[in-house]
Amino acid sequence: MSSITAVSARTTYRIDRSHSEAGFQVRHLLTRVRGHFAEFDGTVEFDAQNPAASRVDVRINAASIDTGEPARDNHLRSADFFDVENHEALTFTSTAIRPIGSDRYEVAGDLTIRGVSRPVTLEAVYLGHATDPWGNERIAFEAETTVNRKDYGLNWNAVLETGGFLVGDEVKISLSVQAVRQAE
């Protein structure tokens, strides 16, 4: 009798930046400032039959930060925050994916910012798959997590006259990803 070896149904998809977004929001004084990174890439190796066997790798160009305010963006690129001259990328590499409901997952992995890697867990929702008008197979996900910016060496702040600080510590990260199947 011959043994049967399980074959992975994992398929590689490349993130389509023109249909995806890597955004964030952080408290600034009284409200929240929202921004995004314009340049990023990555892959999703997705196994629909066994999502736990899936894998995610994302690389974000730190200098591509955009909050809609050029002076603030330049400050965020400086050594006070992302220090893009010495740390050009933010990266995320998954270490485990666990189903938590219908089309919902916890995606654990290592987030690296300013050369500091820390484990984080994103809550992700699989939005489905479709074939575009040009015959390309696509999948889509949305994911969120919240991190403390100081855990990554993003410590700059200013004390307010009335007490408290100008910039909050918690940063909400949100991803909306559409990815295209790669030829095997």
In the chain, domain spans: 11-181
CATH domain 11-181 topology:
Lipocalin (2.40.128)
The pTM (predicted TM-score) of the whole model is 0.88
Q: Are 123 and 145 within 8 A, CB to CB?
A: yes
For residue range 32-55, what is the model confidence (pLDDT) as tens digits?
888 999 999 999 999 988 989 999
Neighbours of 139 (CB within 10 A): 19
Distance CA(152)–CA(160), nearest Å, equals: 23
Q: Are 32 and 66 within 8 A, CB to CB?
A: no
Q: What is the mean pLDDT of residues 134-147?
A: 96
Distance CA(123)–CA(25), nearest Å, equals: 16
Distance CA(57)–CA(109), nearest Å, equals: 9
